[in-house]
Amino acid sequence: MRPRVKEWKFMLMRIRQNSLALAGLVIILAFVCIAVLAPVLAPPNPADAFKIPRDMEINVLTPNPTPPTMRHIFGTTDQQYDLYYACIWGTITAFRTGLTVVGVSLIIGLLMGTVAAYYGGLLDEALMRFTDIIIAFPGLVLAMALVIAFPATVPINISMIALIIFILAMLMLLAFHPSRKLLLVVWGLLLLSILSMFYFPVSFQIPLSRLDKVLIAITLVGWPGYTRVIRGEVLRVKNEDFVEASKASGSSDFGIVVRHIWPNTVYPLLIVATLDIGSIVLSAAALSFLGIGASPDYADWGQIIQRSSPWINRPTELVANFHTFVIPGIFITLFVMGWNLLGDALRDVLDPTLRRR
Amino acid sequence: MTSLTAYIVRRLLLLVLVVLGVTVLIFAITMLFPAEIRAYMYIRNVEQARPEAIPRVIQIYGLNDPFYVQYGRWLGNLLQGNLGWSYTSSQSVVEAISSRWVYTFQIVMFAAPIIIFVGIYLGVQSAIHRNGLIDHICRVLSIIGWSLPSFWLGLILISVFSGQLRWVSIGPLSQEGINHVANTALFTRYTGVSVFDGILNAITRADISQLGITLDALAHVVLPVIVIVTIDVALLIRVMRSSMLEALNKQYITTAKAKGLSKNVVIYKHARRNALIPVATLSGMLVAGLLGGLVITETVFAYGGLGAWAARAALSTDITAVLGYAILTAVIFVIANLIVDILYAYIDPRIRLD
């Protein structure tokens, strides 16, 4: 058996022995089931599956929330939005939020962190000082500022796309044919692309939904953390003997990075990413609660709790309508707890100091 | 130059760089808005807000100038303590911050020591009773606290303690308290922090009933502090636990045990002291970061501090207010970090060499 496969099998065995990890895994799998079965559990709204349907028949009689009944098993919020539907389809929103932000942050972090650590020098210094700046803000405050600053549509400049594609291509090229001269060329091209923006102002507008803004804001706030973790890991691994050996045997930088360095950074990343999914969903929910997250009829747990916030000044009404925030809150807490339990247990399972000797 | 001075100088230079970066970033975010919207940051009365007056505002304040010109002008204002005009609160950002920080301070004042002491205590207990009952309870509790949305916990506490039991109203003071404090004949605002002012008034006016304000303020700070502590103590427990476990595995602990020192001396004098280093750094960041977390908690409890103000400003796209708050939190965070780092470089010479 290949050592790497053996390693994963060993990890799975440790997870199975750890009751907290198992609990986390079960919770996450339950939510996966809810997300996959959402169209069956709550038939989608024909207009837009993520728009919460309203019960117009009750609406005529009363604008106030209705407690759980057979007709609406979780009850409805004010203006008769169906809570059950919101909770079920909110599961998909939560997975989308967590996985998108973590995925994009990981890709950015892997590219930036690897390049910074592997080549060092000015690029490394500049990148790290930039991450210092973003990490200096409390994440939620910066995300809040970004969400309200984003326009409803983003003008995408042609030269901007060219710039992004160019940088990615150059990073790859750089990895295949490593040379510090090429690194300088990248810097030159970066400057050139920025200059070209002034001469090719042709741009087209991409509409952003309110949830998109939240996702972009949280990603912009979160990627420096990943970059730092990955940089640290690459720095740790890059001077190991097996990397030196691989270099000596003539492997390309790209080969070394993909075959030796990244596989050795995967475990810390796995822990960080797992734990982060929970906190990302919490941040998105918090932004929704402040009223700057998902739009008011979007199936999102935080947004549905936000509907209860007008009653804060009249606590007796909060008690009378407690189902409108308690139920979606249980969904958020369990979802986040599932990822935290798994991530926490992974940390123990993968901790090299606790390994069999 | 000694290594400690060199360390401090290096850190100070870095601090200036980061703070400058923070201002560039904040200004770049402002520039995402078109000049017509940014004009509202300078408008201070209805007369100027007329649509036909906007181009004049843009012209006067040079809102179509190149980025670096506007940034230079803005930074100049910032250095003179001018963070701009917040139109939602109809006052300058600096005035708004200085009139509201006391409420935020009141929560942080109680929450921060509780978080630090409870976090360190439970973390140490968890580590020395590893895999025992205390450890399991601490770990489960910290994972629960870590997973709870703070606004949801706040809503539940409000509905139980204000709605059902009617023990305490929300906001910084009860209605009678607000009326009493507002009456200058009955009450003098010495510090702005109601807890202190109640005591000071009781002393200066020789009137024990003034302590009612202190008790009133304390009763109203309990629920927000519970929320903040529940959410934030989890992280500290975890870090303290792992740091303590690491310290307990060190060779100097074996040496200390071999010397025949008592268990308590080994745990508290040798292991805990060393384990506190990463925790101190984290505590500094945590306390500075409380400001960010307070955005939610103050909003839920209608507490009227800086966080609630920033959240309300964000809702009406009052960009000057939100960015002013962002700058404030970032600067506090950076300075708190610096102080903690310098203190620890002073205590622990190993850190200076990094």
Any A CB within 8 A of B325 CB: yes
Which of A137, A309, A340 is closest, CB to CB, to B329? Answer: A137
Give the separation between CA A188 and CA A232, rounded to whole angstroms. Answer: 27
- CB-based contacts of B113, cutoff 8 Å, min separation 6: none
- The whole-number pLDDT of residue A114 equals 84
H or E stretch at A203: strand A203-207
Chain A hits for B150, CB-CB cut-off 8 Å, are: 286
Residues A240 and A180 in one domain: no
Residues A222 and A279 in one domain: yes
Residues A147 and A158 in one domain: no
Give the separation between CA B112 and CA B287, rounded to whole angstroms. Answer: 6
Nearest CA in chain A to B327: A137
Residues A265 and A169 in one domain: no
What is the span of the domain harbouring residue A199? Answer: 153-207
- Are B149 and A325 in contact (CB < 8 Å)? no
- Are A130 and B21 in contact (CB < 8 Å)? yes
Residues A115 and A185 in one domain: no
CATH number at A266 reads 1.10.3720.10
Give the separation between CA B350 and CA B348, rounded to whole angstroms. Answer: 6
Residues A243 and A309 in one domain: yes
Give the separation between CA B314 and CA A146, rounded to whole angstroms. Answer: 10
Give the separation between CA A222 and CA A277, rounded to whole angstroms. Answer: 11
Residues A117 and A168 in one domain: no
Domain's final residue, options A184, A207, A230: A207
In three-state secondary structure terms, A157 is strand
In Å, how far is A176's CA from the nearest CA of chain B? Answer: 33
**Number of domains, chain A:** 2
Any A CB within 8 A of B165 CB: no
- The whole-number pLDDT of residue A35 equals 93
In three-state secondary structure terms, B329 is helix
- Are B21 and A308 in contact (CB < 8 Å)? no
Q: pTM of the entire structure?
A: 0.88
- Are B22 and A332 in contact (CB < 8 Å)? no
B residues 114-143 closer than 8 Å to A (CB): 139-140, 143
Backbone angles phi, psi at A76, to 5 degrees: -130, 165
B168: left (phi over 0), alpha (psi -120 to 50) or beta: beta
Give the separation between CA B76 and CA B27, rounded to whole angstroms. Answer: 12
Any A CB within 8 A of B212 CB: no
A82 strand-pairing partners: A76
pLDDT tens, position by position, for chain B (354 residues)? 577 788 888 888 888 888 898 898 888 888 878 777 777 777 766 666 677 777 887 888 878 788 888 888 888 888 888 888 888 888 888 888 888 888 888 899 999 999 999 999 999 999 888 888 998 898 888 888 889 999 999 999 999 998 888 888 888 888 888 888 888 788 888 888 888 888 888 888 888 888 888 888 888 999 999 999 998 888 889 888 888 888 888 888 888 888 888 888 888 888 888 888 778 878 877 877 787 668 999 999 988 889 999 998 988 888 888 888 998 988 888 888 888 888 777 777 666 655
Give the separation between CA B221 and CA B109, rounded to whole angstroms. Answer: 10
Give the separation between CA B197 and CA B211, rounded to whole angstroms. Answer: 9
Give the separation between CA B93 and CA A71, rounded to whole angstroms. Answer: 50
The answer to whether B222 and B137 are in contact (CB under 8 A) is: no
Q: Which amino acid is at A35?
A: A
In Å, how far is B204's CA from the nearest CA of chain A? Answer: 35
The answer to whether A322 and A305 are in contact (CB under 8 A) is: no
* Radius of gyration over every alpha carbon of chain A, rounded to an integer in angstroms: 24
Residues A191 and A296 in one domain: no
Give the separation between CA A29 and CA A7, rounded to whole angstroms. Answer: 23
Any A CB within 8 A of B226 CB: no
Domain's final residue, options A207, A232, A253: A207
Any A CB within 8 A of B333 CB: yes
In Å, how far is B208's CA from the nearest CA of chain A? Answer: 31
**How many CB atoms neighbour CB B247 within 10 A?**
21
Residues A100 and A143 in one domain: yes
Residues A290 and A348 in one domain: yes
Residues A54 and A126 in one domain: yes
- Are B155 and A149 in contact (CB < 8 Å)? no
Any A CB within 8 A of B294 CB: no
Residues A202 and A221 in one domain: no
- The whole-number pLDDT of residue B257 equals 83
pLDDT under 70 in chain A at which residues? 1-2, 4, 59-63, 158-160, 162, 165-167, 169-184, 186-187, 197-198, 200-203, 351-357
